[in-house]
Structure 1
């Protein structure tokens, strides 16, 4: 039996180091880490996603994306056949965005963000991982790798202007109930991780390592509802 290829995409400005604690059984899964590319001039999110798809070297992969990476892998899935799309600490459409995102879109206030200030590692860490992070800056220097102003301007605009309004019900959404970037009260139909913050890929890795294999295989059962099973989409398996 061939291994299931699992491609993982980090969050905004983050490096693949955020996945260093994620371990899947080697007998069943083969992990491939995707890295952010600097966007081309005037490149749209779908165009960027199509370019990122060129990095997928296996048929019918599982795509896992964190935060903005979750938005990106949903766009990538438009161009290739996938086994599953799993998003963590992200959103399935702009309907799940908090009010401040929607206000930013209406007022174009995001254009006023001084991106040069975000090149400071502490500011970038708060921007990418949420305001509740502690100040272990050396740690975040490790996890944040993209400090290009053009990328940051592009990424923020692509998030705020993301035009997806229809949720793809096949997307599996894992979300923490203490996420301060995408608050849980705006999120629907997700697997809730109690105590999970926006950086739960780092500090809830034990839960993810325990549950991701079954989620990918379609045999996962909710702890509070033993009858709930995420089933494989037979057309994509």
Structure 2
């Protein structure tokens, strides 16, 4: 029996190391990790998605995306045949965006976000106090791979301006009830993970390891 190829796409600016605790049975699944690439000048999300599909070496794969990676895998599926799409801590259409993101689109407020601040985690550390915050910053340093200004501006704009306004019911959506980026009250029909936050790929990995195999194999 040939293995089922499962491709994982991390969240905005994150590296594929966010999946280091995700373990699938190697006899059944082949785990493949995707990474963000620098977008070309004025590249559309659809063209970018097509470019990332060039890194997929198997036919009919399962695509799993986290946060903005969840949006991206849905766009990738327009260009290739896929067995299944699973999104984690993400949305299936722009109707599930929280109000602040919808306002950001109308007012173009997203253009005012100081990206340089986001990039400079070390500076942030200097101004943060307490063990917990510094631990969190160390975590971000490890997992934030893409610190390119052009990428960040492109990514934030392409999340806010995502034009899909109809949910694809075939997309399987796993979401935490404590997600502060995409609050559960705006999400329509999903598999709910109790206590799951926006970064539950890191701290609810046991739930994912237990449940992902049957979710992938389900017809």
TM-score range, shorter chain: over 0.9
Shift, 1:103, TM fit: 0.2
Deviation of the 1:109 alpha carbon: 0.4
Distance 2:191 2:16 in 1: 23
Shift of 1:134: 4.4
**Counterpart for residue 68 of structure 1:** 68
Q: Is the 8 A contact 1:63 1:82 kept in 2?
A: yes
Q: Is the alpha carbon distance of 1:99 and 1:124 closer, same or farther for their aligned partners in structure 2, counting shifts above 3 Å?
A: farther
**Any runs of at least 4 consecutive aligned residues in structure 1 with deviations exceeding 4 A, and if so which?**
122-125
How many Å separate the matches in 1 of 2:195 and 2:174?
A: 12
The superposition leaves residues 90-111 of structure 1 with CA deviations (integer Å, 9 ceiling, x where unpaired) of 0000000000000000000001
SS at match of 2:18: helix
Find the counterpart in structure 2 of residue 172 from structure 1: 172
Partner Cα separation in structure 2 for residue 192 and residue 124 of structure 1: 33
Q: Which residue matches 2:212?
A: 212
1:143, distance to aligned residue in structure 2 (A): 0.6
TM-fit CA distance, 1:157: 0.2
- TM normalised by structure 1 equals 0.87
Contact in 2 for aligned 1:122/1:135 (Cα 8 Å): no
Shift of 1:135: 3.6
Count matched residues. 212
User: For 2:48, what is the secondary structure of its paired residue?
Assistant: helix
The superposition leaves residues 51-73 of structure 1 with CA deviations (integer Å, 9 ceiling, x where unpaired) of: 01111110000000000000000
Shift of 1:75: 0.2
TM-superposed CA distance for 1:139, in Å, is 2.0
Q: Which residue of 1 aligns with 2:52?
A: 52
Q: TM-score, normalised by structure 2?
A: 0.94
Higher helix share: 2
Tell me the residue number matched to 1:96. Answer: 96
